[in-house]
Structure formats: structure tokens, C-alpha cells
Amino acid sequence: MLELQNITKKFMKGTPDEATLFDNFCFSVEKGEFVSVVGSNGSGKTTMLNLICGTYRPDGGHIVFEGKDITAMPEHRRAAFIGRVFQDPKAGTCSNLTILENMALADNKNKPFGLGRAVNKKRLDVYRTLLERCDMGMENRLQTKVGALSGGQRQALALVIANMTELKLLILDEHTAALDPKSSERIMELTDRFVKDSGITAIMVTHNLRFAVEYGSRLVMMHQGKAILDKAGEEKKNASVDDLLTVFNSISIELGN
């Protein structure tokens, strides 16, 4: 479904500090996979997501999605089929708009603009049903401004919004990192349910090794622009946090830490 073919990515090109993160990097994701990606800071996790979403352009290689080369496709066009939930709960929703208005905007995504009302009241029951799945009481607060919600509620709303359109790929960019432990657990449960119910392909970057082990159908560890560990199927099911810590510790020793 998704292929990163011989990707090269450099930073600070043409300066004495030029650095190459990816050098002929190859990575693929099959339709329906839920890939958990871990790795130390600077390993290339977020850069890979930015390349997939179109935030960054590669300096070499191709990005192919469902057989189509999207390397030159701008970020806003990729947003028609790629959804992204960010680490910052404020990034995926509009603070000054109500829950209802945020959902109405998402509902109209990829539809022609006109002079009709932005909020279709016939859709209220649909919105409430979607919010009830979060079990956070938001279905009774449609007129509440999103800026008044907790971080966990905002991330739950961002997940609902991301799944309101027929996306083909969901990107989860450390989406529990800014939340307290209880909210993080709840958001991961919701994420798992949304992904399984919709059958969507998903890539989740996380620093939480337990989440990486417990959720998803495939586990990838990155280091210095390479995938140094890739487990799926029974290997993924049998993986443990201790296994990942062992690899992390060996990397740390290798780097002299």
C-alpha cells in the first residue's frame, strides 16, 4: 500500500553542518497493518512521518501510495487520504470553535464549498453517536468550545474527526505523549478500537514501549535512519518491553552512553 523507495533526506544542505538522516532508506506498509514505531530521539521516526504526509520532500527516492507516485504531491492534497493526529492536543482541533463546529468542518472535508449552512442539524445524532464511543460525556457538550476540553478529550475528539472521512492511512504522531497516564491509556484503547473497527492502515510513533508492544500488528524500531528491528505476526505477539530495552541498551553502549 505504502512504499518508501530508496529515500534520501538531508538537513542543512549546503552548509558545514549538512547531515544525512536517510540514505537509500526503504520501508513499506501493507494495507490493514497497524505499525508501532519506536526509537531514540533523532532516529528518524518523525521525519519518516513528515515525508509520508508531505511536510518534507525527500532529496532522493520515491514515495508510492497504492501504486501511485506521490513524491511531488503537496501536503494538503495528501490530507484527502492521510489523516494525522499530533502530539499536541491543540494541533488537531480548533480551540475557538465548538465541538459541533469542529465535527461539522470535518464532515465537510473533501466536499465542494457552497453558500449553505456549515452545520447540518440533521447530522447531530450521528455526531452524538460518534462521541458516545469515547465515553467522555462530549456527546452532551456539543456547544462547548473545544478550548475548554481536557487534553484527553481533545485527543479523543481528534481521533473521531480523523475517522469521520474515508481515510486510507492514519498517522499517529506520539499522540499520547502530552497526556497524563490515565488519559494516555484511554486514548490508546480508543485508538485500537477505531483502527480495528474501520480496518484502516495506521502508523503510530510512540516513546511508550509498552504501548508499542501491546498495540498494533507490527513493531518497528528505528536508529540513525534505519529500521533495525521489524517484528510482525507471532514475533510481534511474543515481543516484550524487556526485548526492546535490551536493544535500546545495546545502542546506548554503542554510542558510548
- Burial class, 109, CB count within 10 angstroms (exposed 0-12 / middle 13-18 / buried 19+): middle
Q: What is the pLDDT of residue 199?
A: 92
Mean pLDDT for the chain overall: 91
Q: How far apart are CA 163 and CA 172, in angstroms?
A: 12
Residue 6 structural domain: 2-95+151-255
Q: Is residue 232 part of a domain?
A: yes
User: What is the rounded average pLDDT of the residues 9-14?
Assistant: 92
Q: Is residue 133 part of a domain?
A: no
Task: DSSP letter for 215, please.
Answer: S
Contact at 8 Å (CB) between 50 and 75?
no
Q: What is the pLDDT of residue 97?
A: 93
Instruction: Give 183-228 pLDDT, tens digit per residue.
Output: 999 999 999 999 999 899 999 999 999 999 999 999 999 999 999 9
Give the CATH number for residue 35: 3.40.50.300
Half-sphere CA count of 78, side-chain side, radius 13 A: 28
Q: How far apart are CA 111 and CA 166, in angstroms?
A: 12
Q: Is residue 125 part of a domain?
A: no
Sequence-distant (≥ 6) Cβ neighbours of residue 132 within 8 angstroms:
139
Q: How many CB atoms lie within 10 A of CB 117?
A: 8
Structural domain total, the chain: 1
Contact at 8 Å (CB) between 128 and 160?
no
Q: What is the pLDDT of residue 123?
A: 85
Q: Is residue 194 part of a domain?
A: yes
The maximal CA–CA distance of the chain, rounded, in angstroms, is 62
Residue whose C-alpha cell reads 532508506 in the numeric block: 25
| 86-95, 134-143, 152-161, 213-222: least confident range | 86-95
Instruction: Give 43-58 pLDDT, tens digit per residue.
Output: 999 999 999 999 999 9
Among the ranges 123-127, 185-189, 253-257, which has the highest mean pLDDT value? 185-189
User: What is the rounded average pLDDT of the residues 114-140?
Assistant: 80
pLDDT band (50, 70, 90) for residue 106: confident
The stretches of 97-240 forming alpha helices (DSSP H) are 99-107, 124-132, 151-162, 181-198, 209-214, 233-237
Phi, psi of 126, rounded to the nearest 5 degrees: -65, -45
Query: Among candidates 183, 190, 237, 193, which has minimal Cα distance to 212?
Result: 237
Q: What is the pLDDT of residue 114?
A: 46
Q: Is residue 117 part of a domain?
A: no
Q: Is residue 100 part of a domain?
A: no
Q: What is the pLDDT of residue 14?
A: 86
3-class secondary-structure state, position 26:
strand
Q: Is residue 185 part of a domain?
A: yes
pLDDT band (50, 70, 90) for residue 254: low
Q: Is residue 53 part of a domain?
A: yes
